[in-house]
């Protein structure tokens, strides 16, 4: 698996994003929150992901954009092992919950933990079904 995050893996459909917010399950690992939903995706990919930083918590756009860049980079580096073991198609939405700008190590640790918990969660759900 290449360490890339191409356009077809980005969650950009407004309908799908709204559906993820309304019907999705969530996991938290401070300072990140993952909201995920099993769904059929328009592209031929296993997962589509989006990053969001609330304007209410981080007022400056420059800081919000930097945090989103850090989140995308952490996701891009750590998604490989998850994709290889995953079954089904998922829409993922990562939210930043902190009130201050984090450093990369903090974001990457939270991202790794969230992705591993996500994988465990979806495997548990598939066993129950």
pTM of the predicted model as reported, rounded to 2 decimal places: 0.92
Domains of the chain: 9-128 (3.30.230.10)
Two structure tokens written together for 21:
């917010």
Q: Are 37 and 23 in contact (CB under 8 A)?
A: yes
Nearest 10 degrees: Cα torsion 104, 93, 1, 29: 50
Annotate 8-54 with three-state secondary structure: HHECCCHHHHHHHHHHCEEEEECCEEEEEEECCCCCCCCEEEEEECC
Residues 20-40 pLDDT 10s: 999 999 999 999 999 999 999
Residues 39-81 pLDDT 10s: 998 888 889 999 999 999 999 999 999 999 999 999 999 998 8
């Amino acid at each position: 698996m290449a360490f890339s995050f191409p356009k077809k893996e980005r969650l950009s459909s407004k309908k799908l994003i709204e559906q993820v917010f309304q019907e999705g399950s969530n996991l938290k690992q401070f300072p990140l929150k993952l909201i995920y939903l099993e769904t059929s995706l328009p592209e031929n990919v296993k997962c589509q992901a989006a990053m969001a930083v609330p304007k209410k918590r981080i007022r400056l756009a420059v800081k919000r954009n930097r945090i989103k860049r850090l989140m995308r980079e952490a996701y891009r580096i750590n998604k490989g092992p998850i994709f290889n073991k995953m079954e089904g198609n998922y829409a993922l939405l990562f939210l930043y919950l902190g009130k201050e700008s984090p450093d990369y190590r903090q974001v990457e640790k939270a991202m790794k933990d969230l992705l591993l918990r996500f994988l465990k969660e979806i495997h548990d759900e598939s066993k129950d079904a």
